Amino acid sequence: MATLFASWAWGFTLNRVSLFAAALLFGILVSTLLTLVVIPVLYYAANWRRFPPAPGD
């Protein structure tokens, strides 16, 4: 009850809380997807020529 009263006293509405939650969710989702894509790309780019080409190639 104290939480509901405090949020009412500071003027938070369900719409504002839902909007913040959605923005936070999309931010975390985009950050995670970027991390999952960028790390392998950088790893493969750094190790693309890990071994020298075979003689005669």
> pLDDT 10s per residue in the chain (57 long)?
787 788 788 888 888 889 999 999 999 999 999 999 988 888 887 776 666 667 775
- Cα(9)–Cα(53) distance, rounded to whole angstroms? 70
- Per-domain boundaries in the chain: 14-46
Burial 6-39 (b: 16+ CB within 10 A, else e): eeeeeeeeeeeeeeeeeeeeeeeeeeeeeeeeee
pTM, two decimal places:
0.57
- Cα(35)–Cα(41) distance, rounded to whole angstroms? 10
